[in-house]
Amino acid sequence: MKEFIFDRLVNRENICDLEKEKKLLQKLIAQKQNIVLYAQRNYGKTSLVKNVIIDDFRKDHKKSFIFFVDLMGVKDLDSIIFRLKQALEHSIKESFPIKSFIASIGELITNLKTTISVDAASGIPTVSIEPINPSKKKVTIEDIFHSIEKIGKKIPTLIVLDEFQDVSLVHEAESLFRNAFQQLRSLPIIILGSKKHLLKNIFALPKSPLANFGKDVTIQSIDYEKYHEYISERFTLKKLKISKEDSRYLQDLMQRQPEAINLLCYEIYQNHNHKKIDRNIISEAIQQILDQRNKRFEVMLLSFSSTEEKVVTAIAKEQRVSQPQSKEFTSKVNLTAKTVKTNINKLMNLGIIDTDNNQYYVCDPLLNLYLKYFR
């Protein structure tokens, strides 16, 4: 069913375009290459990988093993290991039938103790892994990837690490991942990330443990015409029409971000029939969304310091800022250049602002408009 999907993963039918990226990823996976897939937040990279790339990998192999872990917001090594351990337990449960579990997994994983239990009431199985050596208190990153490497020798395996850039904020994590990845020379790894400056620190700096790792693939803004076709195709279901010019205007207002475009189009779709959608209707829909999300944005802003709010608000009102440490900008926020730089770095690490063509902007187009109108 063709629809405008947001706030969740987008299924294959409702992903707009990304055909070029899909084919390139599939080619690199077939060659067992490592991949660093970058896209701004809410550009559809996780939907593409989970609902297309992984789905096709499973279809192409009668039996396969998919290891997927989301590393967003990890704070320390313990939280990284916890996420990896959970992901391995889930992947094992998904890949091995309960009836043959003990025999199958026992042959493949020899460095960890793997057990399965079944809930008597629901019948839902639970897998747990622990160190095989009683003297070891906990599983390590090396243990987890050693197990995946053993499985990968017997079964076609794909490894996906989402929002990987956050490991750069954890001491020693990059070095530990480098050592782990070296065990996986014949297994394709897809690393997904959305914070450009952190990814650059991980993969581009010569002294970084993961410098020059993998092939870079970037999801760019979707072509205006293709997104217009996507919007029009769904609007037609309620006999709505939108011109190419107003479609482009709508896309630009949402910073060409697929998640935000779909949210705005859904709001229009729900409230109109048999109409030509113009800029007045688009503006009304934006106002309705901002009203709905008022409390959400206010709670977010309460978590900012006063200087952080000053900086992000000034960027929102300017739309794009090339030199935030310039006298022109610092005088607007009444802060020193050093203070502006410190706050920008923090806001970038939080994913609130980012850069594009050496210009700073607010990542969430709706937050950007909220700050512009109400601050």
pLDDT (tens digit, 0 to 9) for every residue of the chain, 375 residues total?
999 999 999 999 999 999 999 999 999 999 999 999 999 989 999 999 999 999 999 999 999 999 999 999 999 999 999 999 999 999 988 887 766 655 566 666 777 877 777 776 766 778 888 887 777 778 999 999 999 999 999 999 999 999 999 999 999 999 999 999 998 888 999 999 999 899 999 999 999 999 999 999 999 999 999 999 999 999 999 999 999 999 999 999 999 999 999 999 999 999 999 999 999 999 999 999 999 999 999 999 999 999 999 999 999 999 999 999 999 999 999 999 999 999 999 999 999 999 988 999 999 999 999 999 999
**DSSP conformational letter for 169:** G
Lookup: tokens for 205: 């700096």
Lookup: tokens for 331: 């005088």
- Helix 173-181 crosses helix 141-154 at what angle (to 10 degrees)? 20
To which residue do tokens 């020059």 refer?
212
To which residue do tokens 């050693």 refer?
146
Largest Cα–Cα distance in the chain?
70
SS3 of 107-131: the string is HHCCCEEEEEEECCCCCCEEEEEEE
Whether the Cβ atoms of residue 29 and residue 38 lie closer than 8 Å to each other: no
Q: What is the pTM for the complete model shown?
A: 0.92
pLDDT at 113: 79
Whether the Cβ atoms of residue 336 and residue 330 lie closer than 8 Å to each other: yes
Coil/strand/helix, residue 276: strand
Taking Cα atoms as reference points, which of 364, 319, 330 lies closest to residue 194? 364
What's the rounded Cα separation, in Å, for the pair 182 and 256?
38
